[in-house]
Chains A and B, each alone.
Chain A
Amino acid sequence: MAASITSSGTFTTLQTNLAPLQENQANGQLLALNINPNDLGTIVPEIWQTINVFQKGWGAQVAAGVNLDYWATAVLLAKFLTAYINQGVTRPPTTPLG
């Protein structure tokens, strides 16, 4: 059965100050040290919901209906995010939503 995660509704409110991180602002780059530790002490549900979506999405590559292991999924996602961040390419603000 397919799973999905959406930005509609309310995401868990973070205690990290997000105001300087708004898209299209000059200083939208976040350092890990600036994340409020409380946001990392309790894993927000959006994280495991996303892991669950990716378990199913990538698990389908193994066979229909297969879930990938949650650990493997989290490692894959973390490494993909690292690659995304570490590319060393400066990006201007992305295209605004239509």
Chain B
Amino acid sequence: MAIATISSAPTGWNTLATNLAPYDEGAAGQTRLIATAINPADLTVTPVTFSQFVPTGATGVGTPAAANPSGTVYAANFPNEVIQFIQLAQLGWGAQLGAGRRISDWAAAVLLMEMLRAYLLPGVPRNVGGQIVG
């Protein structure tokens, strides 16, 4: 089974246009991010000629592709890490269907989004690592 991995090693992470400084985990007076504070440039998905990240090769992790077989192109600021995150979930949960299977990118994205929405529900105690407790 192909294996996809995403690492936090900072090399190569897309730089976001959103100002992240107020959300430093260790900062005093930290504020909570609301959706309107996200720079729209980070969320833009547009059918133009920017490179797209498609799953290729043995890793299954997105790599830049000049050709665009899927017809979907992401804006420069849309992080390829998010695409990799979706692809990783495609593989990880696809394995539930059989070795080497993948669920669709749409299904993976909807599952992840709904899980994140559940995670963000207020009033749930979390430890310092953000893991829900109790």
Q: Which residues of B contact A7 (CB under 8 A)?
A: 2-5, 60, 88-89, 91-92, 95
Given A14-B93, A97-B55, A8-B3 contact (CB < 8 Å): yes
Q: Mark A48-87, 1 if CB is under 8 A from B, else 0.
A: 1011111111111111101111111111111111111101
Q: How many A-B residue pairs have CB under 8 A?
A: 268
| B91: min CB distance to chain A, Å | 4
Q: Are B93 and A23 in contact (CB under 8 A)?
A: no
| B63: min CB distance to chain A, Å | 10
Q: Are A53 and B116 in contact (CB under 8 A)?
A: no
Q: How large is the interface on A (under 10, 10 to 19, 20 to 34, 35 or more residues)?
A: 35 or more
Chain A residues within 8 Å of B, Cβ to Cβ: 2-8, 10-11, 13-14, 16, 18-19, 21-23, 25, 28-32, 35, 39-41, 43-44, 46-48, 50-64, 66-85, 87, 89-95, 97-98
